[in-house]
Structure 1
Amino acid sequence: MSNYRRHWLPGGTYFFTVTLANRQSTLLVDAISTLRQAYADAGRRHPFETVAICVLPDHLHAIWTLPDGDSDYSQRWALIKSGFSRTLPAATTISVSKSRKREKGIWQRRFWEHCIRDDADLERHVDYIHHNPVKHGLVKQAMDWPYSSFHRDVQRGVLPLAWGGKDEREGDFGE
């Protein structure tokens, strides 16, 4: 087992990547209403602000700001994952370990988190989230992907509708 240490900053802002166990799955967009419900339920139980989010077929990226004095993002993700999984059938193949823990095998157990350091770091990560469907070849422009906070930011006047087309942003995000 890895010796990974999480960073806990009460009231902090974090970037997350959360992934399905089956990377070829389209479950997150196929069951988007179930995911939205689980996300909202977790937010009611343990509030957080969603700064940015993008749901892709097999993974999602989000940036959250937690309330002052609160650093428990793990509990929130556990609620979202379990709330989403509860309504779905188990994966067709489940490891012995997951079966023993009564997991359905839908999600990867872990998630990746990064504590946002400053305004420039936040801007880079928001851009990464909004550009992700273009990067993965799902659409040609960020505005064409329906499962993203990009549309909220356009409505608020933060971003222009034409932001993030393939030609404009290509090469900015590595991988």
Structure 2
Amino acid sequence: MADAQRDLLVRHIRLLRDCVALSKRRWDFVIQAAAVLPAEMHLLCAFGGGHHDARGAIRLVTSTFDRHVSDHCASVWSDTCEVIEVSSRVAQLRRSFVEAAPVRAGLVSNVCDWPYSSAHMDTAQSDDMGVAMA
């Protein structure tokens, strides 16, 4: 995020879910784990088939989100994003790492207590699109 003090991601979580769902439709990936913090977002995704573009998927999420958040004229996203390719054997470890982000940030003491995470499975969803979080 460009400004760590902003909380646009959690305030506009439904919009963020829709942006991710749009990107999922374009690039056909599966979200294995997700955590949205006030100032950052972590996604662990599996791209199927031969055609995948993780950076393109991220660009679609970020540009669509920025276009629909009208109360701020500057982008909430930083100019850099980190894309790390991992083997399926490492993915389970990364899932735990992604879901533990709110604990590392000091927002909760238990991963299941953060409502904007795939670890928080008890939260009702409006539909099956996007990231499984509040």
TM-score (norm 2): 0.83
> Residue in 2 aligned with 1:53?
34
Identity %: 30
- Correspondence for 1:110 among 80, 86, 92: 80
The residue correspondences of 1:118-137 to structure 2 (distance < 5 A) are 118-119=88-89, 121-137=90-106
The residue correspondences of 1:19-168 to structure 2 (distance < 5 A) are 20-89=1-70, 91=72, 104-119=74-89, 121-152=90-121
Aligned-partner Cα distance in 2 for 1:44–1:71: 12
Aligned-partner Cα distance in 2 for 1:110–1:46: 20
Task: Check the 8 A contact 2:28/2:48 in 1, yes or no.
Answer: yes
1:91, CA displacement in angstroms?
A: 4.4
Task: Check the 8 A contact 1:90/1:106 in 2, yes or no.
Answer: no
Task: Check the 8 A contact 1:50/1:64 in 2, yes or no.
Answer: yes
Task: Check the 8 A contact 1:90/1:105 in 2, yes or no.
Answer: no
> Residue in 1 aligned with 2:127?
none
1:53, CA displacement in angstroms?
A: 0.6
Specify the SS of the correspondent of 2:108: coil
Aligned-partner Cα distance in 2 for 1:118–1:67: 12
Aligned-partner Cα distance in 2 for 1:82–1:144: 29
1:152, CA displacement in angstroms?
A: 3.9
Task: Check the 8 A contact 1:48/1:65 in 2, yes or no.
Answer: yes
Count of aligned positions: 122
Higher alpha-carbon Rg: 1
Amino acid across the alignment from 1:39: V
TM-score (norm 1): 0.64
**Which ranges in structure 1 are unaligned for 5 or more consecutive residues?**
1-19, 93-103, 154-175
Aligned-partner Cα distance in 1 for 2:66–2:91: 30
Runs of 4+ in structure 1 off by over 4 angstroms are none
Task: Check the 8 A contact 1:51/1:63 in 2, yes or no.
Answer: yes
Task: Check the 8 A contact 1:22/1:106 in 2, yes or no.
Answer: yes
Task: Check the 8 A contact 2:28/2:47 in 1, yes or no.
Answer: yes
